[in-house]
Homo-oligomer: A and B are copies of this chain.
């Protein structure tokens, strides 16, 4: 292979016990990860020592499973609120980016703007916000509702929410605070901008009570792949995390997003597309396959069927034959794109319910790569060089070993090919990702 002329970004997706639904049962897994802060400190430091761009925390504002048998057998009911956890990790890391998921459906923009601005100050410019609209009625029931607003309405609110947050982040220009003890002048009011937003969903005066971000603004991350999600991302996202099953899907998504940017006055480099990758690494293909089968063998059918039901939008499959085909599914108000991709996958590969849940138990809609460091590097290189990705979000099957194996075995191969950094060059998340420092939008005082 030739030296790459550009390098890709890597995020470490830190999901409690690991991304595989049965990862917590791995003999070496940290089963109490969801309540173990020291576990996360070790993982963040591991990813930082490996020069990852960022750690990434997903979120759910509730305990999602309503199937008691599955709930009892999965490690998804206790976990840290992402911003609380990332703030603590900011204090014990120096360089790695810190990306937290926060839903626009269950929060107020002033609070979200403040918290990410504070995290950015604490971390010296390493914060990123993964903006989601949430997708489960289980979460809605913790917030005074019986169900979520419909998909399009959630995205309308999300778009306005985003604009308010950015407006608040622009409350202060650079160097607004001379803090001159002699004259008694603490701040320069000419550099203060009051937002005074009055929109359909929000009325927010401002200004924000946090100084301007060390990286200009925290980085905006999104994960929506539906039409509404793509439209919002093309206008607002700086990083897109996305789930693909095939290279063709990745390429089509990449081209679609990059093609939408000029309409918003944006350059292709203004958005970094980072598909999720679920890696299982072996010294040989046989060892990798064995490792994967070990994890698959730990999936209880009760858990597998319930997982599949959730992922396809809350449709109960427990009354269907687990070794029969996927039934016809009604349209739902859930995450349309994901259901669509999965059902297509099942039809294409003629999968039974059991086979489909085993397909998603690990990668859950993301690209699963089970192989040697060489074959995994080949695939990442192809996606990167042939218009499928600007980087990858590494979704380790279990922790800490699943991430450590990727770092110890695959990263050296990626570095040999010149595809990934050997040292941090920048200080901020924005610098790691190669994103421009934003300039303040003009706004009235």
Give me the interface of A with B, judged by CB distance under 8 Å: 22, 24-27, 29, 31-32, 34-35, 37, 41, 60-63, 68, 71-75, 77-81, 83-85, 87-92, 106-108, 110-111, 114-115, 117-119, 121-122, 138, 141-145, 172, 177, 179, 181, 184-189, 192, 202-211, 298, 300, 303
Contact = CB atoms under 8 A, between A and B. Distances in A.
Nearest to A298: B184
Copy tally for this chain in the complex stands at 2
B91 A60 contact: no
B110 A79 contact: no
Given A60-B209, A184-B25, A179 B106 contact: no
Contact of A181 (B31, B74, B145, B206): B31
A111 B107 contact: yes
A85 B186 contact: no
16 contacts: A29-B181, A31-B181, A37-B122, A63-B206, A63-B208, A71-B189, A77-B187, A78-B172, A78-B177, A81-B114, A81-B117, A83-B83, A84-B119, A85-B122, A141-B204, A144-B202
A207 B118 contact: no
Contact of A41 (B32, B91, B107, B138): B91
B189 A72 contact: yes
Top 10 closest A-B pairs, CB basis?
A87-B87, A84-B118, A91-B91, A141-B205, A31-B179, A88-B91, A110-B142, A81-B118, A35-B211, A78-B211
B115 A179 contact: no
A34 B211 contact: yes
A187 B72 contact: yes
A244 B110 CA distance: 33
A147 to B, nearest CB: 12
Main secondary structure of the interface of A (DSSP, over half): loop
Contact of A88 (B63, B87, B141, B143): B87
Contacts of A71: 187, 189, 192
B115 A81 contact: yes
A179 B77 CA distance: 12
A141 B194 CA distance: 12
Nearest to A110: B142
Contacts of A119: 84
Given A80-B210, A84-B114, 12 more contacts: A27-B181, A61-B209, A75-B186, A77-B187, A77-B207, A81-B114, A84-B119, A88-B88, A106-B108, A106-B111, A141-B205, A184-B303
Contacts of A115: 81, 83-84
A118 B85 contact: yes
A370 B89 CA distance: 40
Contacts of A122: 37, 80, 84-85, 88
Contacts of A208: 63
Contacts of A26: 181
Contacts of A108: 106-107, 143-144
A211 B76 CA distance: 11
A26 B181 CA distance: 8
A75 B110 contact: no
A72 B178 CA distance: 10
